[in-house]
Structure 1
Amino acid sequence: MKISIERAVLLKAVSQAQSVVERRNTIPILANVLIEAEGDTVQFRATDLDIEVVDKANAMVERAGATTVAATTLHEIVRKLPDGALVTLTDDSAAGRLTVEAGRSNFSLATLPREDFPVMASSEYSSNFSAPAPALRRLFDKAKFAISTEETRYYLNGVYLHVSDGEDGKVLRAVATDGHRLARIDTDLPASASDMPGVIVPRKTVGELRKLLDDDDMEIAVSVSETKVRFATPSITLTSKVIDGTFPDYTRVIPQGNTRKLEVDASEFAKAVDRVATVSSERSRAVKLQLDEDRLVLSVNSPDSGAAEEELVVAYNDERLEIGFNAKYLLEIASQVDRENAVFMFNSAGDPTLMREGGDTSAVYVVMPMRV
C-alpha cells in the first residue's frame, strides 16, 4: 500500500479513529487503526469491540492495500506535522512496517496484519431514517449531563432514544437520568422513524457521535436494531452496540401536579448559584433557595468554610417556600437553557422539582431536592 494524503484530511480521520481506541486493552490489535486504500479513497477503521468508527477520505492511491498501525502514535505524528504538508504512507508488509513521510520528516512504525483486525458484524437494521444534525445534536447535548456514571445501574449509563407521544403527536425523544436528576428532550419525529425500537445509546457513543453533528446543513442517516445503532454522514460511519437492559419508566418521576411557579433569568440564576456555592463543602454542595413574593434568596451555610447569600429579583407569587438542592445539579440544568428565562415548578420542599425553558415543553428537566 502506498498513498499520499493532505495532512488536514488525515488528521481529521485519524483523530476520530484514535478517540474510539481504548488506551488500556489486553488485545494489541485493538490499539491499532485499520487503513484500507483502494481506488481514490482511503478508509480508517477503529473499534473497541463495542463501537466502530469508519472514516473515508480522498487520497492519491499509488498502490492499493491495507495494514494496521498504532492509532495514538499515528495521530500524534500527524498532529505535529506542519500545516499544509502532503503525507505519504507506505506499507512494507514483509518488514511489518509503515513509513510516514512528510517533507523532511520520516517515521517508521510497527504494523500488525490486517487479517487480525476485528470488524463489527453488520446487523439487520429494522428501522432506517434520516434526521437533521442540529436536531440530533440538541437531543443528545441537552440530555447527556444526566447520564449515570454508576456502573451497577448499567441501564442508566446512556441516553434512551425512543419514539413517544408528545403534546402534538409522536416525537423522537431522548431521556437520561441518574436517579437525582432527569432530562427529557423531544424533537419532531423524522419520516420513517415511527417503527424505531427504543435503544439505550452508551455514554461513550454519545461522546463520539457529537463529533459528527457539527454541520448544521447535514442530514444524518440513522439505522436502529434491537442490538445496534448506526449514525452515518457521507464520510463517517459510527456503529455501536446498545446497552442491553430495560430503561426504567421515567414518566413516573416527572411531576404533574407542581403548581408553585418561579420564573428567573437563567444566566443570572446560574451565576448566582455558582457564586454562593463557592463556600459550600465539596461533599454536599447544598444551596438553599428561599422563595417569597418576587424574590429569591440563595444561601449556603458551611460550618467549615463560611456562609454566603445572594438575592435575585424573580417572578414568583405563591406561598413562601424553602428548598435545598445540590449546587452542581442546579448549575448543570440551568446551563441547558438556551432561552432567557428558566421556569421552575415546585410542589413542596421534599418533592421533585420540574424545570423547563420559558413556555417550551420540548425540553423538561427534573431535579430531586436535598435537606439543608
Structure 2
Amino acid sequence: MKLIVEKESLLKVLSKVQGIADRKSSMAILSTILFKVLDSGIEISATDLELGFKSYVEAEVETPGALAVPARKFYEIVKDFPQERLILEEEGHYLNITSPGDDDVFFRLACLPAEDFPALPVTEEAGLIEIAGDLLAEMITKTIFCVATEETRFILSGIYMEQPEGEDVLRLVATDGHRLAMIDRQIENISSLNLNPGIIVPKKAAQEIKKLAQDIPILQFGLKDNHLIIAAPNMVLTARLIDGQYPDYRAVIPDVQENPVILPRQKLLEALKRTSIISAERYRPVAFHLNPGYLTLVAQHPDLGEAREKIPINYEGEEVALNFNAKYLIDALEAMNSEEVEFYLKDEDTPCIIKGPEDFGFLCLVMPMSSV
C-alpha cells in the first residue's frame, strides 16, 4: 500500500482510538489499529474485544493494502511529525513514514499482519435514532461517577440505560451500593429501541462514548446483537453490553421530598474539599451538623487532627447530625450545575437525596455513614 494523507485529519481519528486499543493485553494484536487502505481513503479500526471503533479518513491513494499498526507509537509519530502531509508506504511487515519532497525525517514502524486483526461486530440494518451529543455527554457525566469499581460487583460495573414504562424518556442509572445517580431526558423516537428491560453499558464504553459525544453535535444511537451502537458521519463505535439483570434501583429511592435543606453548591463543594483533608484516606468521613442558620462540617483523624468549617444557610428546622463519605458528596456536586442544591435528609438509615433546580431530571442518593 502507498498513500498521502493530511496529518491533521489522520491525527483526529488516531486520538479517538487511543482509549480503545488495549496496550496492556497479552494479545499483541489488540494494541494495534487495523489500517485498511481503500481506493480513496483509509478505514481505521480498533478493538479490545469489548469495544470496537471504525472511522474513515480521506487520502490520495496510490496502492491499496492493509496492516495492523501499533496504535500508540503510530499516534506519537504522527502527532510530532514536522510536516503537514505524510507518505505512508508498506514494505513487508513495516510501515514507512515520510513526507512529500522531504526525506529528512523517516520512520519505519514494525507492524502485524492485517488478517490477524479481530473482526468487528456488523452494524448494518441496526435501528438507530438521533440524540444530541451534548445531551448524551451530560447524562453520562451525571451518572458515571457512581459506577462500582469493585470487580466482585460486576453487574454494577456499568451504567444502566432504560426507557421507563409509559414515558418517552431515556433514563441512565448508576450505583455502587453506597450511592446512586439517576437522570432522565426526553428523547424523540426512544420507543423504537425497545429499551425495556434496560441494558448495562460498561464503564469504559461509557467513557469513550462521552468523549465522542462531547465533539459531535448529533449522534445516532441504537442496539444490535447485544451491542450498543453509537454512529456519526464516517465513524461508528460498538460496545458489548454486560449480561445480567440490574438491581431494582427504585426500591432504594426514599419518599422524602419535603423540607429540603438549601445549600450553596460551590461553597459546600469547596468546604468539603478542605475539611476532608483531615480524614481517613479510605472513607473520608465528614460530619454534617445542621443547625438553624448554618451548617458545620467536621472532619477528625486521631493522627492528623481536626478540621471544622461553618457555612451560613437558610434553615430553620431541627438540629440534625449525620456522617457522609466526603468523596461521594464531592463527586455529586461536581457533576451538577445548579447554584443552589437541595438536600433531603432524614436519618442515618435513609439515603440523602441531592437535587438542583438547574439539573433537570437528575437526582443523586448518598447513604450516610453509621459513624465517623
- TM-score bracket for the superposition, by shorter chain length: over 0.9
Distance 1:176 1:303, change over 3 A: same
Q: Equivalent residue for 1:154?
A: 154
Alignment of 1:59-98 (within 5 A): 59-82=59-82, 85-92=84-91, 95-98=92-95
Q: Equivalent residue for 2:338?
A: 339
Query: Which secondary structure state, in structure 1, belongs to the residue aligned with residue 299 of structure 2?
Result: strand
- Tell me which of 177, 180, 199 is aligned to 2:178: 180
Q: Is the 8 A contact 2:338 2:359 kept in 1?
A: no
Q: Equivalent residue for 1:294?
A: 293
Distance 1:343 1:226, change over 3 A: farther
Superimposed CA distance per residue, residues 40-96 of structure 1 (whole angstroms, 9 cap, x where no aligned partner):
2211101111111112112111212211111111111112213x521111112xx22
Q: 2:104 matched to 1:107? A: no
Deviation at 1:258, TM superposition (A): 4.9
Alignment of 1:135-150 (within 5 A): 135-150=135-150
Query: Which secondary structure state, in structure 2, belongs to the residue aligned with residue 338 of structure 1?
Result: coil
Deviation at 1:305, TM superposition (A): 0.5
Amino acid of the residue matched to residue 332 of structure 1? D
Q: Aligned residues: percent identity?
A: 33
Q: 2:341 matched to 1:349? A: no
Q: Give the distance between the partners of 1:202 and 1:192, measured in 2 at CA.
A: 21
TM-score normalised by structure 1 residue count: 0.93
Q: How many residues align?
A: 366
Deviates most, 117-126 or 320-329 = 117-126
Deviation at 1:188, TM superposition (A): 0.7
Deviation at 1:194, TM superposition (A): 4.5
Superimposed CA distance per residue, residues 172-206 of structure 1 (whole angstroms, 9 cap, x where no aligned partner):
01111101111001111222544433211111111
Superimposed CA distance per residue, residues 240-289 of structure 1 (whole angstroms, 9 cap, x where no aligned partner):
10111111111111111353411111011000111111111212311111
TM-score normalised by structure 2 residue count: 0.93
Query: Which secondary structure state, in structure 2, belongs to the residue aligned with residue 269 of structure 1?
Result: helix
Q: Equivalent residue for 1:28?
A: 28
Q: Give the distance between the partners of 2:336 and 2:19, measured in 1 at CA.
A: 29
Superimposed CA distance per residue, residues 201-258 of structure 1 (whole angstroms, 9 cap, x where no aligned partner):
1111111112211236x21011213610010110221111011111111111111135
Distance 1:195 1:231, change over 3 A: closer
Deviation at 1:119, TM superposition (A): 1.1
Deviates most, 279-288 or 353-362 = 353-362
Distance 1:360 1:136, change over 3 A: closer
- Tell me which of 176, 188, 191 is aligned to 1:190: 188
Amino acid of the residue matched to residue 100 of structure 1? I
Structure 1 unaligned regions, length at least 5: none
Note the aligned Cα RMSD (angstroms).
Answer: 1.8
Distance 1:322 1:192, change over 3 A: closer
Q: Give the distance between the partners of 1:193 and 1:125, measured in 2 at CA.
A: 17
Amino acid of the residue matched to residue 171 of structure 1? V
Distance 1:51 1:308, change over 3 A: same
Q: Give the distance between the partners of 2:351 and 2:302, measured in 1 at CA.
A: 27
Q: Give the distance between the partners of 1:336 and 1:185, measured in 2 at CA.
A: 12
Q: Give the distance between the partners of 1:212 and 1:359, measured in 2 at CA.
A: 24
Query: Which secondary structure state, in structure 2, belongs to the residue aligned with residue 14 of structure 1?
Result: helix
Query: Which secondary structure state, in structure 1, belongs to the residue aligned with residue 215 of structure 2?
Result: coil
Q: Is the 8 A contact 2:128 2:193 kept in 1?
A: no
Q: Equivalent residue for 1:366?
A: 365
Deviation at 1:127, TM superposition (A): 4.2
Q: Give the distance between the partners of 2:173 and 2:190, measured in 1 at CA.
A: 21
Q: Equivalent residue for 2:55?
A: 55
Amino acid of the residue matched to residue 300 of structure 2? N
Structure 2 unaligned regions, length at least 5: none
Q: Give the distance between the partners of 1:297 and 1:72, measured in 2 at CA.
A: 49
